[in-house]
């Protein structure tokens, strides 16, 4: 899920109300826009939530998607984040089927990626890594030969780089 030039991140500030997410996903479905990943979280102001959307801008222009989103009454602000201007992070949790003999190799790799071992069993470990989405892709590739039993990624969250923010 590396950042492809046809992908773009939108940070959408929405009113913290029930149904807002359904409005956004309904809009995408109806207009034939593609969501690649989506993450929602409250902000420091309890009236609002922030939705991070990675969208596919190959078929539809980001401008049209943004304008349609902005028509939703509960959408307050939309920021287009160009990868170069943004810090983006994602969280990955993974259970790796690994024998006790190979466990230390996995632990070493998790260390290199600044991750954590969150659970250990006799023939598997569950690990957690947070980082740039590209890095998580690399980590996934490295783990694959050991055998990925379960994988969960959160979708990316993003903020403008501090020096860009006013």
Residues that bind other proteins (CB under 8 A): 14-15, 19, 22-23, 26-27, 30, 47, 61, 63-64, 67-68, 70-77
Query: Which of 6, 15, 3 minimizes the C-alpha distance to 33?
Result: 6
Contact 14, 75 (CB under 8 A): yes
Structure tokens at 81: 């984040």
In the complex, minimum distance from the CB of residue 4 to other proteins, in angstroms, rounded to a whole number: 24
Largest CA distance in the chain: 57
Nearer to other proteins, 29 or 151 (CB): 29
In the complex, minimum distance from the CB of residue 120 to other proteins, in angstroms, rounded to a whole number: 41
In the complex, minimum distance from the CB of residue 31 to other proteins, in angstroms, rounded to a whole number: 10
In the complex, minimum distance from the CB of residue 156 to other proteins, in angstroms, rounded to a whole number: 23
d(CA 24, CA 27): 5
Nearer to other proteins, 14 or 96 (CB): 14
Query: Which of 139, 88, 85, 149 minimizes the C-alpha distance to 111?
Result: 139
In the complex, minimum distance from the CB of residue 48 to other proteins, in angstroms, rounded to a whole number: 8
Nearer to other proteins, 3 or 12 (CB): 12
d(CA 157, CA 139): 18
Nearer to other proteins, 73 or 118 (CB): 73
Does residue 154 sit in helix, strand or coil? coil
Nearer to other proteins, 27 or 130 (CB): 27
Please name the residues in contact with 62: beta carbons below 8 A apart, sequence gap of 6 or more: 8, 10, 55, 80
């Amino acid at each position: 899920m590396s950042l492809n030039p046809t992908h773009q991140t939108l940070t959408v500030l929405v009113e913290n109300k029930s149904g807002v997410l359904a409005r956004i996903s309904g809009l995408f479905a109806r207009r034939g826009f593609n969501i690649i990943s989506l993450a929602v979280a409250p902000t420091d102001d309890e009236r609002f939530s922030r939705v991070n959307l990675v969208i596919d801008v190959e078929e539809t222009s980001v401008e049209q998607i943004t304008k349609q989103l902005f028509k939703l009454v509960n959408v307050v602000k939309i920021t287009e984040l160009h990868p170069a201007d943004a810090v983006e992070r994602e969280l990955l949790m993974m259970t790796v089927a690994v024998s006790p003999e190979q466990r230390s190799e996995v632990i070493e790799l998790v260390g290199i990626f600044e991750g954590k071992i969150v659970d250990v069993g006799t023939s598997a470990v569950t690990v957690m890594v947070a980082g740039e989405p590209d890095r998580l892709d690399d980590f996934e590739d490295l783990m694959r030969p050991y055998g990925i039993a379960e994988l969960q990624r959160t979708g990316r969250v993003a903020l403008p780089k501090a020096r860009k923010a006013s």
